[in-house]
């Protein structure tokens, strides 16, 4: 057992290589979230309303493509495994599509520009990003069945994802400035980022291994394809997958509402919009630092308990911020507590999703890494979309007026609902769901049963081969 848990350079490098995948993904994801609309309106001269409509409609296509890609991953058979081949196949198209995204022909008329935006936006978000992110998400469950190692891999994933976000936020505008601060400067900038993304995905591909085989697979690692209808049925027989998908949908709804309300809360409740950088800066730094220590907690307490602790800390942090009255000490303490809470969630959430795959195989006989992760992805994208709309609706109902010198009491209350109370409600629901999460205790027996099934299956195949030789 000690040799299994012994920390070696190769193990550390594999964890780092796994995290590089989300670093690469975040090159485009963060760019689309933080800078794409700005590029469209200020450099490509495209209507913000038209772009917003395109993005909203594309969500539907994006969700459908996630499910399709999940099925494709589950049916992929290669010497590299199920997920890793797609990292190799799609890394260059990923970089090229990102460059095309920021290369709108500025001399075109308005309608051709919108057609270009629609095609390239969907090429990136609906096709290419999905084709590389869904396999990447499935990779955790394919690398190991060890619960602790999955948590450590999730920690590295979150660390490198944050590094990708920081890279884009830090270097995008300086590079655009360096290359001439015009439309073509954005193209050149994403040529640089595209190269970085390709390197990250190549590290991810060459630095990781898929070791987990379905219990129904023989010694060659091959198993029969799961029919789509049966795979969907199996998902809804998996109570833990339902719990996690519901959690992810709620969490990403909350992230969308809370994140969008941050500037309003700082400006209108705390009285200084510049406090946004203080709140987010301390929060992000503590979250990153916390990741290095969470693994020890997971080893001692288990994923479910660490996740629950994180939810409690998030609630406490929100309450402190709300009742601090804008005092700097309260803001700092709140950001520290919430940063630790989010580190707990980041270290465990995706590892818990991977654990539902093993439970599903044990429960139904079908192992569907791709479909499980893609369906989760579909769920949290729906939550994200609803959250974006919900923020606007609540502010509108509350009577928020953007250029008002002083907001009404109802407008201020609507901001508090979005920034504080909706997150607290989501965290509380999460605690209730965790009350029914028994998978950590059940997991050792589940893995033992799956290994026994695989051994039985191998014996059957050997008997069949022996019979064929005799005949």
For helices 183-207 and 9-34, angle between their N-to-C axes, nearest 10 degrees: 150
46 and 109 fall within a common domain: yes
CA-closest candidate to residue 187, choices 200, 177, 176, 171:
176
With a CB cutoff of 8 Å and minimum separation 6, the contacts of 421 are none
Q: Is residue 221 part of a domain?
A: no
Q: For residues 320 and 332, give the distance between their C-alpha atoms in angstroms, rounded to a whole number.
A: 10
With a CB cutoff of 8 Å and minimum separation 6, the contacts of 330 are 320, 321, 323, 324
Q: Is residue 467 part of a domain?
A: no
pTM above 0.85, yes or no: no
End-to-end Cα separation, the chain, in angstroms: 44
274 and 420 fall within a common domain: yes
Q: Is residue 365 part of a domain?
A: yes
113 and 246 fall within a common domain: no
- Tell me the CATH number at 150: 1.20.1250.20
Sequential DSSP letters for 49-114: HHHHHHHHHHHHHHHHHHHHHHHHHHH---TT-SSHHHHHHHHHHHHHHHHHHT---TTS-HHHHH
142 and 279 fall within a common domain: no
Q: For residues 451 and 462, give the distance between their C-alpha atoms in angstroms, rounded to a whole number.
A: 17
80 and 194 fall within a common domain: yes
**Phi and psi at residue 218, in whole multiples of 5°?**
-80, -165
147 and 98 fall within a common domain: yes
Domain range holding 131? 12-212
Q: Is residue 49 part of a domain?
A: yes
Q: How many domains does the chain have?
A: 2
404 and 266 fall within a common domain: yes
Q: What is the pLDDT along the chain (471 residues), one digit of tens a residue?
A: 344 557 789 999 999 999 999 999 988 888 887 788 788 888 998 887 788 778 777 877 887 898 899 999 988 989 999 999 999 999 999 999 999 999 999 999 999 999 999 999 999 988 999 999 999 999 998 999 898 899 899 889 988 988 888 888 888 889 999 999 999 999 999 999 999 999 999 999 999 999 988 766 555 555 567 788 888 898 899 999 999 999 988 998 888 788 878 878 888 888 887 787 788 778 888 988 888 888 889 889 999 999 999 999 999 999 998 888 778 888 889 989 999 999 999 889 888 998 999 999 999 988 888 888 888 888 877 887 787 678 878 888 898 887 778 889 999 999 999 999 999 999 999 999 999 999 999 999 999 998 898 888 777 766 666 666 665
Q: Return the structure tokens found at 42.
A: 């200020």
208 and 243 fall within a common domain: no
384 and 249 fall within a common domain: yes
Determine contact, residues 116/39, Cβ cutoff 8 Å.
no
Determine contact, residues 372/235, Cβ cutoff 8 Å.
yes
Residue 258 has what pLDDT?
Answer: 85
Residue 100 has what pLDDT?
Answer: 96
Q: For residues 200 and 20, give the distance between their C-alpha atoms in angstroms, rounded to a whole number.
A: 5
Q: Is residue 232 part of a domain?
A: no
Residue 1 has what pLDDT?
Answer: 39
380 and 453 fall within a common domain: yes
Q: Is residue 233 part of a domain?
A: no
Q: Is residue 266 part of a domain?
A: yes
End position of a domain, from candidates 212, 247, 274: 212
Q: Is residue 219 part of a domain?
A: no
| Burial (0-12, 13-18, 19+ Cβ within 10 Å), 463 | exposed
188 and 277 fall within a common domain: no
202 and 263 fall within a common domain: no
Q: For residues 7 and 441, give the distance between their C-alpha atoms in angstroms, rounded to a whole number.
A: 25
């Amino acid at each position: 057992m000690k040799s299994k848990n012994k920390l070696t350079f190769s193990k550390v490098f594999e964890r780092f290589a796994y995290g590089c995948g989300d670093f690469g993904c975040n090159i485009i994801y963060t760019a689309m979230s933080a800078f794409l609309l700005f590029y469209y309106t200020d450099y490509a001269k495209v209507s913000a309303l038209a772009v917003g409509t395109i993005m909203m409609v594309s969500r539907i296509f994006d969700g459908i493509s996630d499910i399709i890609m999940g099925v494709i991953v589950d049916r992929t058979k290669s010497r590299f495994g199920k997920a890793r081949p797609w990292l190799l196949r799609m890394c260059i198209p990923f970089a090229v599509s990102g460059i095309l995204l920021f290369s709108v022909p500025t001399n075109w008329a308005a309608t051709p520009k919108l057609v270009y935006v629609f095609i390239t936006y969907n090429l990136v978000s609906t096709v290419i990003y999905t084709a590389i992110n869904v396999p990447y998400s499935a990779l955790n469950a394919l690398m190991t069945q060890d619960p602790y190692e999955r948590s450590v891999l999730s920690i590295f994933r979150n660390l490198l994802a944050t590094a990708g976000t920081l890279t884009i936020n830090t270097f995008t505008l300086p590079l655009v400035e360096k290359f001439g601060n015009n439309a073509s400067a954005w193209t050149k900038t994403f040529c640089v980022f595209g190269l970085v993304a390709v390197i990250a995905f190549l590290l991810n591909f060459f630095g990781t291994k898929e070791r987990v085989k379905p219990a129904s697979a023989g010694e060659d690692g091959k198993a029969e394809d799961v029919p789509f209808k049966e795979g969907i049925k199996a998902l809804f027989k998996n109570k833990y997958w339902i719990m996690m998908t519901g959690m992810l949908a709620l969490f990403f709804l909350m992230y969308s509402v809370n994140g969008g309300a941050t500037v309003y809360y700082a400006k209108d409740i705390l009285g200084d919009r510049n406090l946004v950088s203080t709140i987010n800066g301390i929060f992000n730094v503590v979250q990153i630092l916390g990741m290095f220590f969470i693994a020890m907690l997971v080893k001692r307490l288990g994923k479910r308990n660490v996740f629950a602790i994180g939810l409690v800390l998030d609630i406490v942090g929100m309450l402190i911020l709300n009742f601090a009255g804008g005092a700097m000490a309260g803001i700092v303490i709140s950001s520290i507590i919430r940063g630790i809470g989010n580190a707990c969630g980041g270290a465990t959430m995706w590892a818990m999703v991977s654990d539902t795959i093993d439970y599903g195989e044990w429960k139904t006989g079908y192992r569907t890494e791709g479909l499980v992760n893609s369906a989760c992805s579909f769920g949290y994208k729906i939550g994200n979309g609803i959250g974006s709309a919900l923020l606007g609706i609540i502010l509108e109902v509350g009577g928020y007026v953007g250029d008002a010198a002083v907001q009404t009491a109802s407008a201020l209350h609507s901001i508090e609902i979005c920034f504080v109370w909706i997150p607290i409600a989501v965290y509380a629901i999460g605690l209730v769901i965790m009350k029914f999460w028994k998978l950590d205790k059940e997991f050792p027996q589940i893995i033992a049963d799956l290994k026994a099934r695989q051994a039985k299956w191998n014996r059957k195949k050997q008997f069949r081969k022996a019979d064929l030789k005799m005949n």
